[in-house]
Amino acid sequence: MTRILATGTFDLLHPGHIYFLTQARALGDELFVIVARDSNVTHKPKPIVPEEQRLEMVSALGIVDKALLGSEKDMFEPLKQIRPDIIALGYDQRFDAELLEKELAKRGLPANVVRIPLSKECPLCSTGAIIKEVLKRYG
């Protein structure tokens, strides 16, 4: 069994998220997803949807075998439990795949890192696009 790990904020769940998770799931036999903690989202605006609700939404997806919240202290902590074979990165995630693989190996977690190169093309396939549309209509 090949275990895949995907991570993300998954705020305002949309088709781009589904595309990413579907592509990640296609890499193996079971898909684990780490949902970012509200306190750890520092590279973009804070999520609108609280972490527990985002976790509930991701957990409800049929392509996800197990979803859990990330660690507030050490992003590698949940990986020790999950022990993924492959870590799938989204096209827009800010990780350097090579550096991540080296750090994983140093921690005894020899997973391959694969970047999903594209996102789904649609008018509202990003959280930012959804927010802009809501503001245009109701702002």
Q: How far is CA 106 from CA 25, 41, 113, in A?
A: 26, 25, 14
For residue 16, say whether it is annotated as part of any ligand binding site.
yes
pLDDT of residue 35: 98
For residue 92, say whether it is annotated as part of any ligand binding site.
yes
CATH topology for 1-136?
Rossmann fold (3.40.50)
Secondary structure (3-state) at 3 = strand
For residue 74, say whether it is annotated as part of any ligand binding site.
no
For residue 17, say whether it is annotated as part of any ligand binding site.
yes
Per-residue pLDDT of 56-99, as tens digits, reads 999 999 999 999 999 999 999 999 999 999 999 998 888 899 99
**What's the pTM?**
0.93
Closest CA to 22 of 39, 38, 4, 36: 4
Confidence check: pLDDT of 121 > 90:
no
pLDDT of residue 50: 97
For residue 14, say whether it is annotated as part of any ligand binding site.
yes
| Domain extent listing, the chain | 1-136
